[in-house]
């Protein structure tokens, strides 16, 4: 019985580890949103973003909580007894992973479409991003990459509650870096 239990634990552990070998190990993430309200430029920033990139398939997913993007300059923190509606937004799509892995230049630019989704608000919108991928020459690891994605949310189409009094274009910048543990 004990050996059966040990075998099951070993199988589960190896399955998890094998699955993780295909993922980029992100060591830095940041998202910044910029908008204009009453003629004033306003920014939100968060450095605690979940980013997953499978470097075998190119599948990309990022999860962002709206409560992590509080800007007390324009939206005061609610009283302790009031509840903030926490919503999770996802950006997902597929990166040109073969091109990224075989990148020989220090910088490479791509256009990628990512799906912005939120179940609570019934949002499923495709956004176009300019993606810059940098492979720093100073890095001793050939698999280290810096990803920078710039896109625009169109407020008049999405009608996000947080931006109801903002001008139409909300800038979205997502940056992450990490190492792809490829064995090539």
* The predicted structure's pLDDT at residue 85: 66
**In the chain, how many domains are there?**
1
**Separation between Cα atoms, residue 158 and residue 7, nearest integer Å:** 50
Rounded-to-10 torsion of CA 32, 35, 38, 40: 50
Residue 176 lies in a domain: yes
* Mean pLDDT in residue range 130-140: 81
**Separation between Cα atoms, residue 95 and residue 65, nearest integer Å:** 23
Say if residue 181's pLDDT is above 70.
Answer: no
Residue 15 lies in a domain: no
Say if residue 103's pLDDT is above 80.
Answer: yes
* The predicted structure's pLDDT at residue 24: 75
Residue, of 85 and 34, whose pLDDT is higher: 34
Residue 30 lies in a domain: yes
* The predicted structure's pLDDT at residue 109: 95
Say if residue 184's pLDDT is above 50.
Answer: no
Residue 9 lies in a domain: no
* The predicted structure's pLDDT at residue 126: 93
* The predicted structure's pLDDT at residue 66: 65
Residue 138 lies in a domain: yes
| All residues at 6 or more sequence positions from 121 whose CB lies less than 8 Å from its CB, including other chains | 87, 160, 161
Q: Which domain holds residue 29?
A: 23-73+84-180
Say if residue 162's pLDDT is above 60.
Answer: yes
Residue 122 lies in a domain: yes
pTM of the prediction? 0.76
Q: How does the average pLDDT of the chain come out, rounded? A: 77
Say if residue 133's pLDDT is above 60.
Answer: yes
Burial 133-156 (b: 16+ CB within 10 A, else e): bbbeeeeeeebbbbbbbebebebe
HSE-up of residue 60 (Cα within 13 Å, Cβ side): 19
- CATH number, domain containing residue 160: 2.40.128.110
Helix (H) or strand (E) holding 15: helix 2-20
Say if residue 173's pLDDT is above 90.
Answer: yes
Give pLDDT tens digits for 9-62: 443 433 343 445 677 777 788 888 898 988 999 888 887 788 999 988 999 999
């Amino acid at each position: 019985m004990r050996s059966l239990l040990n075998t099951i634990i070993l199988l589960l552990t190896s399955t998890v580890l094998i699955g993780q070998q295909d993922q980029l190990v992100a060591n830095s993430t940041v998202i910044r949103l910029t908008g204009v309200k009453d003629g004033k430029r306003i920014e939100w920033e968060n450095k605690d973003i979940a980013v997953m990139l499978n470097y075998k398939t190119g599948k990309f997913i990022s999860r962002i909580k709206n409560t992590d993007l509080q800007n007390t300059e324009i939206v005061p923190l609610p009283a302790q007894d009031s509840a903030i509606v926490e919503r999770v937004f996802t950006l997902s799509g597929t990166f040109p992973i073969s091109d990224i892995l075989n990148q020989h230049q220090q910088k490479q630019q791509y256009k990628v479409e990512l799906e912005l989704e939120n179940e609570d608000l019934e949002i499923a919108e495709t956004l176009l991003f300019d993606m810059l991928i940098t492979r720093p020459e100073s890095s001793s690891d050939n698999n280290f990459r810096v990803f920078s994605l710039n896109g625009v949310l169109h407020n008049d189409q999405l009608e996000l509650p947080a931006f109801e009094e903002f001008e139409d274009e909300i800038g979205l910048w997502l940056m992450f870096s990490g190492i792809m543990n490829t064995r090539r």
